[in-house]
Amino acid sequence: MNRLLLRTKARLRDAGKPVAEAAVGALTIALLRTTRYFDPDKTANFFGRVTRFIGRRLREDRIGRENLKAAFPEKSPEEIETILTGVWDNLGRIGAEFAHLDHIWDYDLDHPEKPSRIEFTPRTKEIFDSLRDDGKPAIIFASHLGNWEIPALGAVAHGLDCAILFRRPNIESADRAIERIRAVKMGTLVPAGREAPLKLAEALQRGQHVAMLVDQYMGNGVEVTFFGRKTKANPTLARLLRQVECPVHGVRIIRLPNHRFRAELSEEVKPARDASGQIDIQGTMQAVTSVIEGWVREYPDQWLWLHRRWR
């Protein structure tokens, strides 16, 4: 009887899955379309308040708290809660900003004196101009910090030819809606999958720049140390370097007050090499992970602590 009941529940769940996915997809499309009709700043404030309220009641809130305690054992419970509140606020703001991606990057190179949401240092501009004009490929990595959708906007707006690795949503209708938004001013989009490494290597061989998020936990990845604990990093970046050696830089978008952002490019991150001079996969990913850890330590409330980060 119990087995029959379990089988019946499983069949009902499987039968209902397409309906549930269609509903979520439709809701995603409606939300994105509706959000575009409202002021982006007011909507970001509203979404931030909503996610602060709802997020603190979700399972991911507990995951985030445990991650923060592991990363910052020296911080008080009150400090941890303050950071976690900021994490949910940042996530809500990203959701609102996503619907307005086509006009968030408003920096005008010809008229830098004009008010803009974006700021960056002279050194970041110098590195960017060099990457754009040297005729060589490069790999640019980012993390889930601040608004991680924005770097691609700046790259395309100022002429940096990029192929960008991205992960598709699981729900097809939502995927189509999100991809249409991302495709507006975000370069060549390469969906994650078996063919992605080959497509990215081909892009580098053509002289394009390849951009990717590299801070997700990957069960079959290479071992690195992050906040003093062992974790698994996606080795794609280092493996691409073995095929096409080129400069590696990090990019981050820091959320500032009053709906503004600061874009920063890191200095070149030198890959590690083994005794034979070949790119060392583990050592290179440790070098990249160390850069990301430094970023997160500066702005812990702007990083996505809500998923598995260690074994």
Q: Structure tokens of 288? A: 């990249």
pLDDT at 163: 93
Q: How large a percentage of the chain has pLDDT more than 70?
A: 82
Average pLDDT over residues 220-228: 96
Helix (H) or strand (E) holding 84: helix 77-98
pLDDT at 171: 41
Identify the CA nearest to 182 among candidates 94, 265, 100, 264. 100
188-197 pLDDT, tens digit per residue, is 888 888 899 9
User: How does the average pLDDT of the chain come out, rounded?
Assistant: 85
The average pLDDT across 204-214 equals: 95
Tens digit of each residue's pLDDT (9 = 90 or more) over 97-114 = 888 877 788 888 878 888
pLDDT at position 62, please? 95
Residue 237's pLDDT is what? Answer: 97
Q: Give CA–CA dist 86/39, Å, rounded.
A: 22
| Residue 165 reports pLDDT greater than 80 | yes
> CA-CA distances (angstroms) from residue 273 to 170, 249, 286?
37, 17, 12
The pLDDT of residue 174 is above 90: no
How does DSSP assign 4-52, residue by residue?
HHHHHHHHHHHHHHHHHHHHHHHHHHHHHHHHTTS-HHHHHHHHHHHHH
- Strand, coil or helix: what is 73? coil
Category of 267 on φ-ψ map: left (φ > 0), alpha (ψ -120 to 50) or beta: beta
pLDDT tens track for 260-309: 999 999 999 999 999 999 999 999 999 999 999 999 999 999 999 999 88
Q: Are 89 and 259 in contact (CB under 8 A)?
A: no
pLDDT in tens, 238-262: 999 999 999 999 999 999 999 999 9
169-172, Cβ contacts within 8 angstroms, sequence gap of 24 or more: 169/28, 170/21, 171/21, 171/24, 171/25, 171/28, 172/21, 172/25
Query: What is the average pLDDT across 29-45?
Result: 76
Q: For 158-258, where are the alpha helices, taking DSSP H only?
A: 172-182, 196-205, 236-243
Mean pLDDT of 158-172: 76
Question: Could you give the C-alpha distances from 78 to 68, 81, 84, 228, 304, in angstroms and in order?
Answer: 12, 5, 10, 22, 19
Q: Is the torsion defined by CA of 99, 174, 166, 196 positive or negative?
A: negative
